[in-house]
Amino acid sequence: MAFNEIQQIKQILQDKKHVLIVFRQNSNNDTIASAVALSLFLEKMKKQVDIVSAGFVLPKSLKFLSKAEEIKPNFSFLQKFILTVDIKQTGLQELSYDLKDEKLRIFITPQNGFLTRDNIHTAQSDFKYEIIFVIDTPDLEALGPIYDNNTELFYKRPIIDLDHNLANEQFGQINIIESTATSTAEVIFNFIHELGNEYLDEQIATALLTGIIANTRSFKTADIKPQTLNIASKLISLGANRDYIVQNLYRTKSISTLKLWGQALSHLQHDSSLGLVWTTITREDFTRSGSQENELKDIIDELIGNSPEAKMILLLHEPLNTENKEILGTLTCEKQFDALILIKQFNPTGNKKQVNFKIEGKSLTEAETEVIECIKKNVV
């Protein structure tokens, strides 16, 4: 990490009070844990921090992390509307308001004379946030409605882009992309270590180790490097409890998740020539198991952890809360493949390791056939 980048960030942060952390839709446990760690760190620097991700639902396995339940699915407010009334000549006798038919009415009674439109001025306050950290996100469009509906915010505020994926488009004023890191949590650790190592504590260490364990499947992935183990050792020495993290991530599955896992196994298929394992989940599977879509993250983790011979893992499911005919999918690949290329015709979002995508106007069976054929065509 370049020294001048850290100096620039220190300078930017120096006079900033309100900080925003955002990350892509359909994030993973590493992303979430990294956002929590960064937030806890910035709060120790006396900053007011919000974490926002479009449509966010916290996985049950991460509820043990401090501050994780404070992550918001959308903005509460970004700017204030200011109504200024000049009462220099009239004075003020009474002020009241009411709310009727979703319309706010403000009643002003002057002491002398009367008020006109010329006495009233409107304005909008500046944006609430003064600096934005975007983590584990390839481009701003991947933020979904958070960016689409608030583009002016992202144009007017400095952006710090932190990621470990080469697919990152480096859209920030400052971009820290560490492609040799195994997780975003490693990038955040290095960032904190350079910017304010004295603030590292047990809570921050726990969040960071959670991200590393989640993204390396408890240090089982092929891209583990000595630096990863060295960072993990430092985090444990700061108080992060590996066994406690593993217990929460992998050993506290709800009955509904276990039932959904059973449904996924009953539909499991394998193409050994491709190294592809895939399964499908119907709306009826969700109903029978009493589960929700956010529990699919656990199913993907289970498929990855229990399919050591698989090079690609595909999960397709019917969404619960829509009447539209559409299928949602997640494809996870080992490093020799690029998930973005394998299913590029479906406009996936994510990175080369894991992508999410949508197929409209198809049944689950039709989508399954189409995606498998697409993968076969693009595997070189």
The confidence score (pLDDT) of residue 3 equals 53
33 and 163 share a domain? yes
Expressed as residue numbers, the domain containing 96 is: 81-124
CATH of the domain at 225: 3.90.1640.10
**Which residue in the block uniquely carries the two structure tokens 């446990």?**
29
232 and 288 share a domain? no
Number of structural domains (the chain) is 3
The closest of 120, 124, 113, 125 to 86, measured between CA atoms, is 120
Two structure tokens written together for 15? 């006079």
Give the contacts of 228 (CB within 8 A, at least 6 positions apart): 181, 182, 183, 186, 212, 216, 219
299 and 158 share a domain? no
15 and 154 share a domain? yes
The confidence score (pLDDT) of residue 181 equals 94
| Secondary structure (3-state) at 157 | coil
The confidence score (pLDDT) of residue 344 equals 92
26 and 136 share a domain? yes
The confidence score (pLDDT) of residue 52 equals 96
159 and 217 share a domain? yes
276 and 374 share a domain? yes
Of 91, 107, 124, the last residue of a domain is 124
Eight-state DSSP code of residue 54: T
The confidence score (pLDDT) of residue 114 equals 85
Q: Where are the alpha helices (DSSP H) in 15-92?
A: 29-44
| Angle (nearest 5°) at CA 2 between 191 and 220 | 50
Residues constituting the chain: 380
Q: What is the DSSP string of 122-148?
A: EEEPPPS-SEEEEES-SSGGGGTHHHH
Full pLDDT tens readout for the chain, 380 residues: 555 888 899 999 988 999 999 999 888 899 999 999 999 999 999 999 999 999 898 988 899 998 999 999 998 877 667 788 888 888 888 888 888 888 888 888 888 888 888 888 876 657 789 999 999 998 999 999 999 999 999 999 999 999 998 889 999 999 999 999 999 999 999 999 999 999 999 999 999 999 999 998 888 877 788 999 999 999 999 999 999 999 998 877 788 888 988 999 999 999 988 899 999 999 999 999 998 887 887 787 777 767 777 889 999 999 987 777 899 999 988 878 889 899 999 998 877 888 889 999 999 999 999 999 999 999 86
142 and 19 share a domain? yes
Two structure tokens written together for 267? 């539909």
CA distance 269 to 346: 21
Of 202, 219, 249, the last residue of a domain is 249
Q: Give how far Cα 211 sits from Cα of 155, 204, 313, Å.
A: 29, 11, 21
7 and 111 share a domain? no
CA distance 33 to 41: 12
25 and 53 share a domain? yes
53 and 198 share a domain? yes
93 and 138 share a domain? no
Q: What is the DSSP string of 271-323?
A: ETTTTEEEEEE-HHHHHHHT--GGGHHHHHHHHHHT-TT-SEEEEEE--SS--
The closest of 180, 178, 54, 142 to 340, measured between CA atoms, is 142
C-alpha neighbours within 13 Å on the C-beta side of residue 200? 23
